[in-house]
A and B are shown apart, each in its own frame.
Chain A
Amino acid sequence: MCEKKFILTFFFFLISLATQAKEKAIQIDEQYRQFLTDYCTKCHNAKKTKGKVRLDTKGFSFAIKTVKDADKWQHILNSVNSKEMPPEDETQPKSQDKIKFLEMLSGKLVDARNMLNDTGGKITMRRLNRREYKNTMEDLLGVSVNASTLPDDFSSSNFDNDGTNLFLSADQIQQYLMIARSSIEDALRHKTLDKPLKIRYEPETQANEGVTKRHSEYLRRYKGAIAYEKSQKAGENKQPKDFGIIDKAEVKFAKDHYERFFASYDDYLKNSLSKTGVLMSLRHPILNFSFKIDWFDQMITIERKNGTERKKKLRTTFPNGVYKIRARVALLPNSPPERSFLDLGFMDKEKSFNRLRTFQVTAPLSNPQIIEQTVVINSENRLMTFREKSTESTAFFKYEMSRRETGKAASPTLWIDWVEYEGPLPSKKQPLLSQTIAKINSSVLKSDQIKPILKDFAQKVFRRGKVEDSYTDRLIGLYEEELSVGLKPKEAIVEPLSVILSSPSFLFLAEPTASLKKRLLTQNELAIRLSYFLWSSAPDLRLQKIAAAGKLKGEILRKEVDRMLKDERVMNFIRSYTYQWLGIERLNFFKFDARKYPEFDDSLKAATEEEIYQTIKLIIDQKLDTGKLLKSDFVVINALLANHYGITGVAGDEFRKVTLPKNSVRGGLTGMAAILAMGSDGNHTSPVERGAWVLRKILNQPPPPAPANVPQLSRLESKKLSARQILKAHQEEAQCAHCHKKIDPIGVGMENFDADGTWRTHVKLGNKKHTIDPSGAIYRGPSFKGYVELRDFISSKTDDFNRGLITSLLSYSMNRKFGFSDQDLINGLQKKMKRNKNSLHWLIHEIVQLEDFKIKR
């Protein structure tokens, strides 16, 4: 017994020595040489080297060491996948052999690519990505910065903060300069007033005027059209014009419009509530209720020199700044719950609606409620707009549905008494730019006066101590050039400041090292890394001070991380990390079919996405087990989502923890509407997307990338198939089966969730209704009757889930791909995390404390 143990240990020791001595390689098992011998080498040998490919020699390496090796094997994989090889008239491999071969090879190639891409722990210096740039600029300037003109950050296989994937182009640098200029100019226009302006607006007069006008116009044109048609029947020689209608085509429209819209307008004007406020409708008469924050007129009295008075109109313009928008609103009696939501947004130049928030309205007419939203107003978002929760397509569809039933719009449910806006409000924050601008008087500053101001700004913006004189001298030169062409001091400073904000010291997160040797980060660098990890922005003053004092370590570091996790900026991290980690991009890949899912509009979609972020936040805040992301007895939702899930007793817009009834299918990522919607195409569910997502994100067994050139199962495409039938079809062909046998059963187990995430028991295929059979078995795993048992299986896989989470969070936090050469680190973290109750909160702390996090390689 003892002896045996000894031998075993010794054996392992030898192996590990051997692998260390050898260069890195991914080894393909020699047993597969038989596959090549059986099906390939008849043509690909020394004599008959078809396509210049030779697979027969012992020299054909089964160890993938270089890009070339990988490409060779990729070539083989592609040929077999596309059914090109072996050729049709040659011996074909048995299905089971082919499945095994393809499964092995596609897996090995993923490993090989990972090995060959491995950075060996190096973190490439990187520029700020688009969102970090925006956040950082906004913190510095105190205004909202429009960074949409910057190109997308290109991430082909890792997070958007991986330096190896962040490129720069000439166009981009010009954009940086332009964005900086216009943002600084915008900031200079920003004002705070000690006594903010306030306007309350009673909208009914204007609204009724508009509705009345169209109401009578529809009627007039209709009467004209009827009279014209009558005249035609009577054989009179008259033109549409004689009846006030432009031409013949218009006759048809006049009748059509009257039939479709008139009753809705008529109804509106008859409703007594329209005399005291605005009634929202789904499309007609009022879908969008807009008001512009621009200016107001006052009559003021001016005293003349001779002592008499005169009245004068004084126009006050609302400057850019922070405003509060308020409205007094009520819900009409007997309104269905899904129609109690009011969207607030603004109309942009292209006249499209940009949603800012969705309010739930619960107050009755007898006692309306006041809703309030803070908005930073600039030149682009001044046309504020309320509408009943909808998007154009769902409003259109709902209107048509109601019209078909009742001949007019559905009865209104939301009433707005008045709206009010107040601002610009004083702000507690004093951004760096305002501090800098405050130092520049209206009188021209000499170069020795402006120098310390520019230097101070540059030093703070560059997140490091020293700025060289030669650089500031150049900036002063710029400033003086600007003055010399006649600009005022405050205008002349814009260009040098914009240059600072476009310089590489600002745009790049540099951790300078002279050689390729690793070194400890300075305290300041550590603060920066930490801050871009947890806030996606630069360190605040407090963090800078702690770092400057050299105290950012041990317990204080821990406390700072806690503080940062509590700060609202942590949502930058939660949103951007989770979005990329879970692949939420897909949620916005397609429009949902409004006819099939009229409630799944932009507002609801946004709420489903927010549910994921708020759940992660709760898991962090309450130091919960990450297993709760797989299965839990609670959800984190608001009223809008509660309504979607059919959970009662939740009122209000804020997300909160709601305990679920027993046996609920909610609780856990796989029961969240956003995840389920991502596993669809907006029209039908996609069991393949869902299954692949679970494998990729939860079970940490990512299927290899969908291979190119696989022939479609085209004989089936014309048929409406159930998920189960598709699953069966995928088993027919080896090149499909080797992945789909793992993917499809999981997807089928989730079939009781519709594309919008609601629960269903039946599915319509063509005109037939089928009962869904969600039963199945995990590949080489247990069988399940349906979703609840599937979720039990999923939730038993916390270890796999955490491994994926750890790897991806490491990659995000340290801006490089983790994987191939980091297995030991990941193993260690995984064990430790388990001992620490699988807490994500713990994991974040632990990553920050890692040596890797504190060194530059």
Chain B
Amino acid sequence: MNRRHFLKGIGTTLALPHMLSLHGEEKKSTQMNNMIFLSFGWGVTKETWFPNVKDTGANYKLPEGLKPLARHKKDFSLVLGTEHKFNSGGHWGSTVFLTGANRYAVPGKSFSNTISVDQVAAEKWGANHRFSSLQFDCDNAGQSGHGPGLSLSWNKNGKPLAGLRDPFLVYHKLFGNEKMSIDEKKNLIRRQGSSLDAVLMDVGSMKRKLNPQDKDKLDEYLESVREIEQQLAREKAWIGKPKPKAPFKEPKRGLKGYKEIKLMYDLMVAALQTNTTRVISYRQPVESLLKSLDVDISSHNMSHYGKGSRLPVSKLRDQKQSELLAYLLDKLKATKNSEGVSLFDKTTLTYGSNISNSHNIRNCPVIIAGNGQNLNLGQHIAMPKRTPLCNLWLSLLEANGLSQQKFGDSSGLIEQVLA
């Protein structure tokens, strides 16, 4: 039974306890599902990226900025008109993009955040994979319009998760086998474990002397050590199981911009293909993308494009970003997972930004693709003004068998998104 229809049928007042029978086992259509979240900082060229707001449904005219995606038109949907009502940072394309948090929510603090939607999935799905999730990132994310943060992802306590910025290093993290025997590896893990034990002794003796507020700060340290311990336990479990064979050769070092994004996409597909993880987020570079296209204005200035000489640059950016996305979709379609199913069918891909253009953070440009069994693709879905973007995140969780009653400031599902 489709849980959503179930909920619809009897009204949503029936809360989770009744759902237990459905819990625990994943539905077939969401088994082995993956999620990818991409964000691109400074938004898009409003005039040429967004379709006419009235031209909705399946037969909408593909706007100029999305032309490179024409061959995939049936396989993605534009979900437009949404926003995060609490965000007020015109330069924050990614900070709360996947969280919808109110930075001022905690009195006495000038910044706080909440869990990002990708991490909801990672917590549920991560246990049996080498990495519960992977975060990719770019250099100087602030210059690319992403805003504060270390990646697109925030953990359950609203703390930033670190991102991997160098595709060369990502390659080695995923596929590089340490030249180490099983015993050596065991030894290394044991040593790291002992080191953490020693560190924890210090946490203990320090904690006794602190006031509650400072204890909280120390708990951040403690939590982090616990996280490493879990990672070590995981590594231990994986000892003797060699890392998967890389589907392609070791890449060149130091690729930047266009080629860097492309390589990161390759690595994403490779990571999903080899079942290394099921959840990936990526803050794409915009600044270095422009540099790699021989553009010499900053990406921030480009985002204030107006009608002058910056407009062609902004359009070029859309063009190239769409081209790259089309490449990623090609790749996902052409690659099969370990069960022989196309990755595209098993992956919910989200591509967007909290920033629409310049300092506008309403009507976020967002594309969803993949997971066709559960998502309604090929559509231009124009939501009424002020629809919380978190409604989309809630719907994507729903489409992946991760139903929640609420996510962030969500007010309900976006039914049109669900198949």
Contact = CB atoms under 8 A, between A and B. Distances in A.
Given A125-B217, A475-B198, A717-B308, A70 B104 contact: yes
A368 to B, nearest CB: 38
Interface residues of B, number: 71
Interface string A113-136: 100111110101111000000000
Contacts of B217: 124-127, 163, 508
B238 interface: no
A169 interface: yes
Contact of B228 (A156, A173, A715): A173
Contacts of A496: 198
Contact of A709 (B160, B214, B253, B359): B359
Interface in B160-219: 160-162, 187, 190-192, 194-195, 197-199, 201-203, 205-206, 209-214, 217-218
Contacts of A174: 228
B88 A718 contact: no
A122 B108 CA distance: 10
Contact of B298 (A66, A126, A475, A589): A589
A718 B310 CA distance: 9
A75 B301 CA distance: 27
B202 A503 contact: yes
Contact of B297 (A124, A177, A681): A681
A67 interface: yes
B402 interface: no
B213 A516 contact: yes
A482 B228 contact: no
Interface stretch (B20-28, B66-74, B115-123, B142-150): B142-150
B6 interface: no
A708 B85 contact: no
B305 interface: yes
B202 A471 contact: yes
Most buried by B among A158, A477, A498, A709: A709
Contact of B110 (A164, A170, A485): A164
Contacts of A591: 296
A415 to B, nearest CB: 33
Interface residues of A, number: 86
B306 A505 contact: no
A19 B213 CA distance: 28
B109 to A, nearest CB: 5
A707 B90 contact: yes
Contacts of B228: 170, 173-174
Interface in A160-212: 163-165, 167-174, 177
Contact of B111 (A71, A157, A706): A157
B89 interface: yes
> 8 closest Cβ contacts across the A-B interface?
A717-B306, A512-B209, A171-B162, A125-B214, A718-B307, A170-B227, A474-B198, A503-B202
Nearest to B192: A177
15 contacts: A116-B104, A124-B214, A126-B217, A127-B217, A163-B217, A170-B227, A174-B228, A474-B201, A478-B198, A499-B198, A504-B218, A508-B218, A510-B214, A707-B88, A715-B307
Contacts of A152: 150
Interface of A: 51, 66-67, 70-71, 74-75, 78, 82, 113, 116-120, 122, 124-127, 151-152, 154, 156-158, 163-165, 167-174, 177, 350, 468, 470-471, 474-475, 477-478, 481-482, 485, 495-496, 498-499, 502-505, 507-508, 510, 512-516, 589-591, 593, 681-683, 705-710, 712, 714-719, 817
Contacts, number: 212
Contacts of B307: 714-715, 717-718
A715 B306 CA distance: 8
A682 B298 contact: yes
B161 to A, nearest CB: 6
B213 A122 contact: yes
B224 interface: yes
A49 to B, nearest CB: 15
Interface string B217-230: 11011001101100
A584 B209 CA distance: 39
Contacts of B305: 717
A275 B362 CA distance: 67
Nearest to B226: A170
Interface in B236-260: 253-254
B169 to A, nearest CB: 10
B298 A170 contact: no
Contacts of B296: 591, 593
A681 B301 contact: yes
Given A503-B199, A709-B359, A120 B108 contact: yes
B199 to A, nearest CB: 5
Contact of B105 (A67, A477, A505): A67
Contacts of A74: 88
Given A350-B254, A706-B90, A498 B213 contact: no
A706 B89 CA distance: 8
Contact of B211 (A169, A485, A514): A514
A805 B108 CA distance: 23
Given A151-B150, A514-B211, A709 B361 contact: yes
B130 interface: no
Given A71-B86, A170-B224, A481 B359 contact: no
B360 A708 contact: yes
B298 A169 contact: no
A67 B197 contact: no
B337 to A, nearest CB: 28
B77 interface: no
Given A82-B362, A169-B160, A681-B301, A516 B104 contact: no
Nearest to B85: A75
B56 interface: no
A80 B183 CA distance: 67
B362 A117 contact: no
B159 interface: yes
B220 A167 contact: yes
B214 A471 contact: no
A156 B92 CA distance: 11
Nearest to A176: B199
Contact of A708 (B102, B297, B301, B361): B361
Nearest to B210: A512
Contact of A478 (B107, B195, B209): B195
Contacts of B360: 708-709
Nearest to A510: B206
Contacts of B220: 167-168
B103 A681 contact: no
A51 B159 CA distance: 33
B308 to A, nearest CB: 5
A719 B104 CA distance: 39
Contacts of A707: 88, 90, 359
A515 B88 contact: no
A173 B198 contact: no
Given A151-B150, A707-B88, 20 more contacts: A67-B105, A70-B104, A71-B86, A117-B104, A127-B221, A167-B159, A169-B159, A170-B225, A172-B162, A471-B205, A474-B194, A504-B206, A508-B217, A508-B221, A515-B211, A516-B211, A589-B300, A706-B90, A707-B90, A709-B90
A593 B296 CA distance: 8
B205 A468 contact: yes
A516 B213 CA distance: 8
Contacts of A682: 298
B198 A504 contact: no
A173 B194 contact: no
Most buried by B among A67, A70, A169: A169
B206 A514 contact: no
A82 B83 CA distance: 14
B362 A709 contact: yes
A773 B210 CA distance: 61
Most buried by B among A157, A498, A515: A157
A717 B103 CA distance: 33
B331 interface: no
A424 to B, nearest CB: 30
